[in-house]
Amino acid sequence: MRPWRRAERGLGSGRPGGSGFRGVRREEERRRGVFTRRALLLGAGQLGLFGFLGSRLYRLQSEEGDRYATLAEENRVSARLIPPPRGRILDRNGQVVAGNQLNWRALLVAEQTQDVGATLETFSRIVPLTEQERARIERDVRRRRRFVPVAVREFLSWEDMARIEVNAPDLPGILIDVGTTRLYPEREHLAHLVGYVAPPAERDMDGDPLLELPGIRVGRAGIERHHDLLLRGRAGAVQLEVNAVGRVIRELDRREGVPGQDVQISVDAGLQKALRGRIEEGTSVVVMDARNGEVLAMAAQPSFDPNVFNAGVSGAQWRQWTANRATPLINKATNGLYAPGSTFKMIVGLAGLEARVVTPGDRVFCPGHLDLGDTRFHCWQRHGHGSLDMRGAIKLSCDVYFYEVAKRTGIDRIAAMANRFGLGVELDIELPGTKKGLVPTRAWRQAQGKPWNLGDTVVHGIGQGFYQLTPLQLATMAARLATGRAVQPHLTRMVGGRPGRGTRPEDWPSLGIAERDLKLMREGMWAVVNEPGGTALGSRLPAALGVMAGKTGSVQVRRVSREQRERGFKAESQPREWRPHALFVAFAPYENPLYAVSVVVEHGLSGSGAAAPLARDAMVEVFNRLRPSPGQRVAEAGR
Amino acid sequence: MSATYERRLLARDRGFGLLQKLWLIPWSFVLLLCAIAAVGYVALYSAGGGSAEPYAAKHALRFGFGLVLMLSIAMVDIRFVARLAWLGYGVGIALLVLVLLHGNVGKGAQRWIEIGPLQLQPSELMKIMLVLGLAAWFQRASWERMGNLLFLIPPALMVLLPVGLILRQPNLGTALIAGMVGAAVFFAAGARWWKFVLAAGAVAVAAPIAYDHLHDYQRARITTFLDPESDPLGAGYNIIQSKIALGSGGLWGKGFLQGTQGHLNFLPEKQTDFIFTMIAEEFGLAGALTVLGLLSLVLAFCFGVALRCRHQFGRLIAVGLGTNFFLYVFVNVAMVTGSIPVGGVPLPLISHGGSAMLTTMLGFGLLLSVHVHRDAEFGPVRD
């Protein structure tokens, strides 16, 4: 046994003695006992708290794991839409009349900046923003999801772009990208037909996510609006993996969108331009393919430049447009309302013939006026036309003859016939907002609480009175007279490479009018232009081109009093806005009609003087431009 | 009589060679530390985006250095440590004062001073020195003496002085931990129960008053803790993102280097405060519990050392350092799981950071020294 073995028993005590070996040892053991208990307590408590952490982890990772997995996925995956290019609009020769051009723009992604206001503040120190722009941007940011970029400024110049790029570190959330914007190369020439695009308004939000994208435009008028969905296409989408600051790490999935489809319209841009170059304010010219209703040109003055709408229309510009009494934004060819005047006489004649109240050979004597009770209705020819049959009455545009026919036929039958020719009914054309016009009936007048008098019928027999018709309706009437089919005017020729409706004449139903009657009307119209004494003899076509048939019309815009008439009323001596409108409807060639034309010249005095020459010029232009190919001619010749 | 036992007694009797001391070192514990550090290496490798740079390699280097430091300190006689304890405490306080006057402030919180290439946070060092100082004060106190209020006033001031200095930095989290470490030593040394009840009551009364004097960011942490969803992109962002990353890890995790939240930077400070989240996302509940288990073993070892030590000084050091370690781990893991307000406390042995590694290994060195010298003779107990 070694000495230190004894010491082993006295553990903890240093040296024996002092305050007493046994006392010291007892003290040490007591304190060690306390320590052991308390240390075990502390240790157990601490391990217990580790256990709590374990249970906490279990709850997060096992029980709620799925929920957090979803959140993690949402965290890292960001969906972005890819805007499809808007479809182009082409004219019948394939010329682009509405295309896309590059547009450099600054966008703001709200989720990539801590403070949208601060970013915009910095931005406007580089590229000034107006209060309105700020308000618009902040509204867009609120309205859209936070990862959807909002347009801050479009059509950036190179200098602005360079300044933004240089300051990029101070502009969190701002990115520059290139988008497209609409370009209308023909400017005001086709504005009424093609229409224009503008940023979508609240009411346009139809759930298409595409409309949330910055710089997206929707069609507001014309073809752009009618075919908006086709032109717009469908948005594609990319699923991107993004990190915490929104930086794209990689592309997870890509779904290609559907690009907007090209729309080809039947208008010939060159023809349209040529016609518009020839007409003055307040004039409309409509040229249709009589066989299938394709609108070849629809020229109206004045017009507007649709490119202006791209960048947003300024208040000043808008006021200028709306203050202009000539209403440049409104297409007079589809929305201008006129009485048809003598161009309506064929309808009256057809109604009379169909009602068998008159035969082609029936003659009526014109002394220059018709007396009905104590009212005298004058013919435009003060001295009278003498005895006339229907062909002669159309050729000379005798009023008395048609007073008489109308009196016999009755207004309701005339109105029904007018409706069959597209007058006073809604035409199926792709121009939103097109006017329906008005063809009065007995019932219509009675609904106004007024009686219909026989005198009213007489006046309406020569196309005066309550009629409100558009130049497009008159052109449609001319086309239906020429073909006897219920062709509808339309603009769509091809959509996405597929032909539009009704390209062949057989696609259109017959009007159900006796061919004999129609032929008589066409003969009368031929005589108007081609027979000595006809009212538009001066406007016949050059022999090489073909033969045109037509009908003149002049519409009083003010009543001519008896006193004036007796003093020798001269319309041309009136102030311009009191002068009568000049109208002309025509088709050509006479034997095998291809084209129908209507011309309305506001305050143009007389149909033969102002409207017919324009119609002739239009026909010459059409023939020169759209000369049928030799094969087509042969086919038509053989018919 | 086993041979080991004889060697221990021999060592106590003076024939205490370095080799013999090395023999007494519990190598299984050293192995445990290496395993935890390896987990840290793996996690930091992932946090570096699948690369040893910039975190993992440094971590390994620091751990290696720390290992040498730890083993060196383990060789130092614990009685020598006891003699230096007061000096250490004084140096700790001096550094705290120095850092208040000349330190660098980062993130509005931790203060550090630079010693060559090393960034030292005196508040971390202070916690160890506080444990040493308290242990030195209590080493010979008898049970009766622990009941004497006057005897407890100086050590209470020893705790309050550094806590106050750390609060001034201002670093609420570390100050609280230092206070709790001190309380644990008091408790283990035998201070009466009712005194703790009284102190807790005093804290409860003082807390609302203290809240008024907190910095805005500190208040934000507390309010965000109460309702983290209230400001998802502000102060609550970290907690929410951490929970998302943890939760989405599921049972078995997304796989090494496959954690999306960490790699896509949704997780803030993933190499330091949120390293545990990183592990839990990539290795799931299984991985997280394994790490927690390894850390629990370290804690158990600390208390094991305390229970087997034959002198009060060593026992108190072991309990104090063990509690310090526990608080580190608990605050960190509780923070990343959204159980307590964000505190900016790293996870020992795993988080990236030189200063934390240094102080952790210093603490373990002292613990091992206690273990190696557990039979050392101290003076008799005094009343």
Question: Does one domain contain both A217 and A290?
Answer: no
Helix axes B56-75, B27-47, angle to 10 degrees: 160
Which of A160-169, A583-592, B93-102, B114-123 shows the lowest per-residue confidence on average (mean pLDDT)? B114-123
Interchain contact A67–B (C-beta under 8 A): yes
CATH number at residue A493: 3.40.710.10
Q: A557 in a domain, yes or no?
A: yes
User: What pLDDT shows up at residue B121?
Assistant: 82
Share of chain B above pLDDT 90, in %: 43
Report CB contact under 8 Å: B260, A72: yes
How many other C-beta atoms lie within 10 A of the C-beta of residue A25? 18
Q: Which of B9, B323, B375 sits opposite A42 (nearest CB)?
A: B323
Distance from CA of A52 to the nearest CA of B (A): 9
| A16 confidence band (pLDDT: 50, 70, 90) | very low
Question: Does one domain contain both A279 and A164?
Answer: no
Contacts of B82 in chain A (CB under 8 A): none
Question: Does one domain contain both A281 and A132?
Answer: no
Coil, helix or strand at residue A338: strand
User: What pLDDT shows up at residue B264?
Assistant: 64
Domain of A582, in residue numbers:
269-302+331-637
Distance from CA of A10 to the nearest CA of B (A): 11
Token pair 């200098």 is found at A159
Question: Does one domain contain both A292 and A158?
Answer: no
Residues B343, A45: Cα–Cα separation, whole Å: 21
Mean pLDDT of the A135-149 span: 79
| A45 confidence band (pLDDT: 50, 70, 90) | very high
Report CB contact under 8 Å: A31, B190: yes
pLDDT at A11 over 80: no
Question: Does one domain contain both A522 and A402?
Answer: yes
* Pick among A6, A8, A15, A35 to test the B interface (most B CBs inside 10 A): A35
Report CB contact under 8 Å: A62, B296: no
User: What pLDDT shows up at residue A553?
Assistant: 92
Q: A485 in a domain, yes or no?
A: yes
Report CB contact under 8 Å: B189, A8: no
| A630 confidence band (pLDDT: 50, 70, 90) | very low
Question: Does one domain contain both A260 and A131?
Answer: yes
Which of A142-151, B18-27, B50-59 shows the lowest per-residue confidence on average (mean pLDDT)? A142-151
Q: Are strands A263-265 and A89-90 parallel, antiparallel or unpaired?
A: parallel
Average pLDDT across chain B, whole number? 84
Token pair, residue A410, equals 């009755």
CATH number at residue A234: 3.90.1310.10
Token pair, residue A575, equals 């102030």
Report CB contact under 8 Å: A31, B142: yes
pLDDT at B9 over 70: no
Residues B67, B263: Cα–Cα separation, whole Å: 30
Closest to A11 in 3D by CA, of B141, B370, B375: B375
Residues A586, A474: Cα–Cα separation, whole Å: 9
Count of pairs with CB atoms under 8 A, one residue in A, one in B: 167
Q: Which of B251, B299, B323 sits opposite A62 (nearest CB)?
A: B251
pLDDT at B277 over 70: yes
Establish how many alpha carbons lie within 13 A of residue B360's alpha carbon, considering only the half-sphere containing its beta carbon: 30
Long-range contacts of A577-580 (CB under 8 A, 24+ apart): A577/A603, A578/A603, A579/A603, A579/A604, A579/A605, A580/A341, A580/A554, A580/A555, A580/A556, A580/A604, A580/A605, A580/A606
Q: Which of residues 313-342 of B touch A (CB under 8 A)?
A: 315, 319, 322-323, 326, 329-330, 333-334, 337, 339
Coil, helix or strand at residue A96: strand
Token pair, residue B122, equals 């005196």
Contacts of B310 in chain A (CB under 8 A): 11-12
User: What pLDDT shows up at residue B110?
Assistant: 54
Contact B319, B138 (CB under 8 A): no
Closest to A213 in 3D by CA, of A204, A221, A226: A204
Q: Are strands A89-90 and A96-108 parallel, antiparallel or unpaired?
A: antiparallel
Contact B380, B144 (CB under 8 A): no
Distance from CA of B94 to the nearest CA of A (A): 31
Question: Does one domain contain both A259 and A293?
Answer: no
Report CB contact under 8 Å: A27, B143: yes
Question: Does one domain contain both A259 and A337?
Answer: no
Q: A398 in a domain, yes or no?
A: yes
| A628 confidence band (pLDDT: 50, 70, 90) | low
* Pick among B14, B181, B192, B264 to test the A interface (most A CBs inside 10 A): B264
Mean pLDDT of the A622-636 span: 61
Mean pLDDT of the A548-573 span: 79
Which of A280-294, A356-370, A424-438, B332-346 shows the lowest per-residue confidence on average (mean pLDDT)? B332-346
Boundary residue ending a domain (A218, A243, A265): A265
* Amino acid (1-letter code) at residue B282: E
| Inter-CA distances, B220 with A399, A532, B337, Å | 93, 100, 18
Interchain contact B189–A (C-beta under 8 A): yes
Closest to A80 in 3D by CA, of A215, A198, A253: A253
Residues A464, A395: Cα–Cα separation, whole Å: 18
Question: Does one domain contain both A224 and A278?
Answer: no
Which of A40-54, A491-505, B276-290, B315-329 shows the lowest per-residue confidence on average (mean pLDDT)? A491-505
Residues A146, B33: Cα–Cα separation, whole Å: 47
Report CB contact under 8 Å: B264, A68: no
Residues in chain A: 639
Report CB contact under 8 Å: B233, A50: no
Residues A365, A582: Cα–Cα separation, whole Å: 27
Contacts of B264 in chain A (CB under 8 A): 75-76, 241-244, 249
**CA angle in degrees (0–180, nearest 5) for B242-B244-B249:** 100
Q: A457 in a domain, yes or no?
A: yes
Q: Report how many domains make up chain A.
A: 2
Coil, helix or strand at residue A632: helix
Contacts of B324 in chain A (CB under 8 A): none
Helices (H), A59-115: 65-76
User: What pLDDT shows up at residue A13?
Assistant: 41
Q: Are strands A295-300 and A283-289 parallel, antiparallel or unpaired?
A: antiparallel
Report CB contact under 8 Å: B184, A31: no
Mean pLDDT of the B179-191 span: 93
Question: Does one domain contain both A248 and A279?
Answer: no
Residues B375, B89: Cα–Cα separation, whole Å: 24
Interchain contact B237–A (C-beta under 8 A): no
User: What pLDDT shows up at residue A28?
Assistant: 83
Q: pLDDT tens across B81-99, in order?
A: 999 999 999 999 999 998 8
Question: Does one domain contain both A442 and A567?
Answer: yes
Mean pLDDT of the B326-345 span: 84
Mean pLDDT of the A97-104 span: 87
Report CB contact under 8 Å: A61, B249: yes
Coil, helix or strand at residue A176: strand
Closest to A339 in 3D by CA, of A582, A48, A614: A582
Contact B266, B281 (CB under 8 A): no
| B232 confidence band (pLDDT: 50, 70, 90) | very low
Interchain contact A12–B (C-beta under 8 A): yes
pLDDT at A341 over 50: yes
Distance from CA of B336 to the nearest CA of A (A): 10
Token pair, residue B281, equals 């996302």
Token pair 């008896």 is found at A562
According to DSSP, the residues that pair with B115 across neighbouring strands are: B118
pLDDT at B18 over 90: no
Token pair, residue B49, equals 């985006």
| Inter-CA distances, A247 with A127, A161, A244, B236, Å | 25, 21, 7, 22
Question: Does one domain contain both A286 and A200?
Answer: no
Which of A555-564, B217-226, B335-344 shows the lowest per-residue confidence on average (mean pLDDT)? B217-226
Mention every residue, 6+ apart, whose C-beta is less than 8 A from residue A425.
Answer: A419, A436
Residues A250, A532: Cα–Cα separation, whole Å: 82
More confident residue, A126 or B292: B292
Peptide bond connecting A589 to the previous residue in cis, omega within 30 degrees of 0: yes
Coil, helix or strand at residue A498: strand
Interchain contact A241–B (C-beta under 8 A): yes
Boundary residue ending a domain (A241, A265, A289): A265
Contact B375, B9 (CB under 8 A): yes
Q: What ipTM, to 2 d.p.?
A: 0.89
Report CB contact under 8 Å: A42, B303: yes
